[in-house]
Amino acid sequence: MKPRLGFFDFTGCEGCQLEVINFEIELVELLELVDIVNFREAMTEKGEDYEIAFIDGAITTESDISRIKEIREQAKIVVAMGACASLGGVNCLKNFRPMEENLKIVYGDCAGYYNTIPARPVSAVVPVEYELPGCPMNRYEFLKLAKALLLGKKFELPNYPVCVECKMVGNVCVFDKGGFCLGPVTRAGCSAICVTTGRHCWGCRGLVDDPNVNSEKEILQKHGLTVDDILNQFRIFNGYLEVSK
């Protein structure tokens, strides 16, 4: 029997689900090997007999919490797709203000009608087997994980910083161009796409294990930047690390 997959969206832009639909022939091939039983964005049928649950988006309401717990009960394997599901992502920027203030800024007089709780990654609520960080997730990394799951093989994220991939593609260092970059402390696996296409790293794949903080500090000092500079930048995708402590 083919493995049964479910895709579930929480608070996010649904861009990571879109990345799955963005495959061309790989999508057709994948569908020969698995059954997608639940994928609200793409299908009407709603099967509840999924074994692997792919989660997109962060947890930001009380009802999100009960829903993710139900999914966890059903699924043998839970995969967090993208920065929102695996890190909390951009949603956690609101955590730096009291929730009442957020509500007031966005809804004004109607603020009282709405509910929200500080945003958090899936793993803050239920155990998660795999995470595919990135904003959006790298769809080829998704494919790699899918293959590993189908073949019963091990899957691991790269545990070296974006700088390594950046050097491999031959980019000029952003710091050397007078810019600012989170590449030295961010987990690789994106082929350094943002630097390669002319920008810098915003850290959307989260921290590498045991980041070399001293080296980052040294780089900052050398280029006349402060720890505040890095924190302001880091919290765009990784605010959860800062405020959950």
Partner 1 sequence: MTQLNINVHHVTRVEGHGNITVNAKDGKIEEITWEIPESPRFFEAMLRGLNYEDVTWLAPRICGICSVAHSTAAIQATEAAFGVQPSEQTMLLRKLLYHAETLQSHVLHFYFLAAPDFLGVGSVFPLINTHKEVVLRALRLKKLANDLADLLAGRKTHPTSCVVGGFVKFPETSQLGTMRQRLSEAMDDLKETVKLFKGLNVPDFIRPTEYIALKDPKEYAFISGDISSTDTGIAPITDYLEMTNEFCVPQSTAKFSRHARDSYMVGALARFNNNYSQLLPEAQKAAGELGLKAVCDNPYMISIAQIVESIHAVEDSLRLIDQIVARGLKEEKPEVKVRAGRGVGAVEAPRGILFHDYTYDDKGVLTEANCVIPTNQNHNNIQKDMESLVPSIINKTQDDITLMLEMLVRAYDPCISCSTHFLEVRFV
Query: By C-beta, is 91 or 208 nearer to partner 1?
Result: 91
Q: Which stretch binds partner 1 (CB under 8 A): 26-34, 122-130, 149-157, 215-223?
A: 26-34
43 binds partner 1 (CB under 8 A): yes
**Stretch of 56-64, 141-149, 154-162, 167-175 contacting partner 1, by CB under 8 A:** 56-64
By CB under 8 A, tell whether 49 contacts partner 1: no
**141 near partner 1 (CB under 8 A):** no
Please choose, from the candidates 71, 52, 68, 72, the residue with its C-alpha nearest in 3D space to the C-alpha of residue 60: 68
Least Å from the CB of residue 91 to partner 1: 6
62, 32 contact by CB (below 8 A):
no
Contact 200, 237 (CB under 8 A): no
Under the criterion CB under 8 A, does residue 244 sit at the interface with partner 1?
A: no
Sign of CA pseudo-dihedral 158, 71, 123, 21 = positive
- Among 69-77, 151-159, 195-203, 208-216, which window interacts with partner 1 (CB under 8 A)? 195-203
Interface with partner 1 includes 110 (CB under 8 A)? Answer: yes
* 8 Å CB contact between 222 and 231: no
Sheet holding 4-9, edge to edge: 35-39, 4-9, 52-56, 77-81, 130-132
Task: Spell out the long-range contacts of 38-42 with Cβ–Cβ below 8 A and sequence spacing 24 or more.
Answer: 38/5, 38/6, 38/7, 38/8, 39/5, 39/6, 39/7, 40/7, 40/8, 40/9, 41/7, 41/9, 41/14, 41/17, 42/7, 42/17
Is 186 among the residues that bind partner 1 (CB under 8 A)?
no
User: Is residue 191 at the binding interface for partner 1, with CB under 8 A as the rule?
Assistant: no
User: Which of 154, 147, 153 has its CA nearest to residue 29?
Assistant: 147
Nearer to partner 1, 97 or 147 (CB): 97
The token duo for 126 is 């239920």
Verify binding: residue 7, partner 1, rule CB under 8 A.
no
The residue with tokens 């189908």 is 150
Using the rule CB under 8 A, is 165 a contact of partner 1?
no
When binding is defined by CB under 8 A, the residue of 68, 71, 162, 194 that contacts partner 1 is 194
* Cβ distance to partner 1 smaller for residue 28 or 151: 28
The residues that touch partner 1, with contacts defined as CB under 8 A, are 9-19, 21-25, 27-28, 31, 36, 39-46, 57, 60-61, 63-64, 89-91, 93-94, 97, 101-102, 105-107, 110, 113-114, 116, 135-136, 193-194, 196-199, 202, 233, 236
